[in-house]
């Protein structure tokens, strides 16, 4: 299941729901929570403003998760991504993956996180404590990680 929302999310509730879906079959449940952090060490971040393309964004995230289901032996997944103005230290994204075995969950979750950063149509505007604002550019490292995942059809981490 995929949700794009402005409101914060309850990590414990999301994990419990993901576990309950395949109760008895889940041997591993991996969760990742991303937070708003300082853009650099010199000037603290005040706010991160996330914009998205409604409809298209959810479809792209669904494609990413469908690919993870095809590539790894996972039971289920849950993705919640926030949009709007988020303050420093607030939660941005939750990715949860359940599987019978930990290796499948780790690889699928890492792929989903990497692909979210490079493929999902989100735009991030950083607002620093000193008032400076700028659009966050995709990092070359993130783009390379996703490209390696896409090029490597082996089930293991590329």
The tally of domains found in the chain comes to: 1
Which residue has better confidence, 123 or 148? Answer: 123
User: Going by C-beta distance under 8 Å and a sequence separation of 6 or more, which residues neighbour residue 70?
Assistant: none
- Does residue 107 lie within any of the structural domains? yes
Domain assignment present for residue 71? The answer is yes
Look at residue 56 and tell me if it is in a domain: yes
**Confidence class of residue 157 from pLDDT cuts 50, 70 and 90?**
low
Let me know if residue 41 belongs to a domain: yes
- Domain assignment present for 157: no
In this structure, how many other beta carbons lie within 10 angstroms of the beta carbon of residue 130? 9
The predicted pLDDT at position 154 comes to 61
Tokens of 9: 């999310």
What is the predicted pLDDT for the residue at 139? Answer: 73
Q: Would you say residue 158 lies in a domain?
A: no
- The answer to the question of residue 28 being in a domain is yes
The pTM of this model reads 0.89
Contact 4, 92 (CB under 8 A): no
Do β-strands 74-82 and 122-128 pair in parallel, antiparallel, or remain unpaired? unpaired
Helix (H, G, I), strand (E, B) or coil at 100: coil
Provide the pLDDT confidence category of residue 144 given band limits of 50, 70 and 90.
Answer: confident
Closest CA to 142 of 108, 117, 110, 106: 117
Residue 45 lies in a domain: yes
Give the domain CATH number at 111.
3.90.1170.40
The whole domain housing 128 covers 2-151
Which pLDDT tens digit goes with each residue over 8-63? 999 999 999 999 998 889 999 999 999 999 887 788 899 999 999 899 999 999 99
Residue 153 has pLDDT above 70, yes or no: no
Per-residue model confidence as pLDDT tens digits over 55-112:
999 999 999 999 999 999 999 999 999 999 999 999 999 999 999 999 999 999 999 9
């Amino acid at each position: 299941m995929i949700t794009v929302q402005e409101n914060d999310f309850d990590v414990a509730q999301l994990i419990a729901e993901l576990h309950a879906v395949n109760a008895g079959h889940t041997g591993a449940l991996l969760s990742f929570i991303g937070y708003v952090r300082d853009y650099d060490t010199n000037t603290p971040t005040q706010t991160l403003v996330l914009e998205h393309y409604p409809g298209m964004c959810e479809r792209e995230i669904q494609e990413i998760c469908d690919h993870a289901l095809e590539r790894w032996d996972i039971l289920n997944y849950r993705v919640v991504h926030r949009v709007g103005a988020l303050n420093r230290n607030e939660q941005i994204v939750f990715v949860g993956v359940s599987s019978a075995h930990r290796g499948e969950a780790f690889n699928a979750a890492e792929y989903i996180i990497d692909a979210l950063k490079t493929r999902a149509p989100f735009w991030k505007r950083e607002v620093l404590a000193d008032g400076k604002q700028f659009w966050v550019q995709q990092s070359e490292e993130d783009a390379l990680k996703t490209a390696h995942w896409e090029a490597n059809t082996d089930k293991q981490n590329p």
